């Protein structure tokens, strides 16, 4: 089975500063990669996904992520954060060899400080 590691459980950052949320996964075989965001008292929403092609993926709300196969990483970045980006962020991996099952990381709580 896959495993997903989100190295930082909490990330505080000042408004308009850049941020990077780190994600590593266990397998070097071809996988599909996702980032989800969860705002307080809401369900998870898809930010972006990598299936194939360009290793730099752009998502909603100005977020982007870069797939690095050699390092088995899929870090999420934003050049300038807003207060409204305060939320929980989850990295997930889907292994096409095991059907539709997703493997989620433990989440990173991003707090944007005014």
**Residue 44 makes contact with other proteins by CB under 8 A:** yes
Decide if residue 8 touches other proteins (CB under 8 A).
no
Nearest approach in angstroms of CB 102 to other proteins is 6
By CB under 8 A, tell whether 43 contacts other proteins.
yes
Instruction: Encode 81-100: b = buried (16+ Cβ within 10 Å), e = exposed.
Output: beeebbbbbbbbbbbeeeee
Per-position b or e across 32-64, b if 16+ CB within 10 A of its CB: ebbbbbeeeeeebeebbbbeeeeeebebeeebb
Nearer of residues 15 and 102 to other proteins, judged by Cβ: 102
**Phi (first) and psi of residue 85, to 5 degrees:** -80, -5
| 25, 47, 12, 109 alpha-carbon torsion, rounded to 10° | -70
Per-residue contact string for residues 51-70; x = within reach of other proteins by CB under 8 A: x-------------------
Closest CB to other proteins among residues 36, 63: 36
Binding mask 94-113 for other proteins (x = CB under 8 A): xxxxxxxxx-x-xx------
Which residues make up the interface to other proteins (CB under 8 A)? 32, 34, 36, 42-46, 49, 51, 90, 94-102, 104, 106-107
């Amino acid at each position: 089975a896959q495993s997903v590691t989100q190295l930082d459980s909490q990330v505080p950052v000042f408004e308009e500063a850049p941020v990077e949320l780190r994600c590593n996964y266990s397998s070097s075989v071809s996988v599909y990669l996702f980032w989800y965001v969860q705002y307080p008292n809401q369900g998870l929403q898809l930010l972006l996904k990598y299936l194939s092609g360009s290793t730099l993926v752009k998502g909603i709300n100005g977020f982007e992520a870069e797939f690095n196969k050699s390092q088995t990483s899929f870090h999420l970045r934003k050049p300038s954060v807003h207060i409204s980006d305060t939320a929980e962020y989850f990295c997930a991996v889907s292994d096409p060899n095991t059907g539709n099952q997703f493997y989620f990381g433990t989440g990173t709580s991003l707090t944007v400080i005014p």
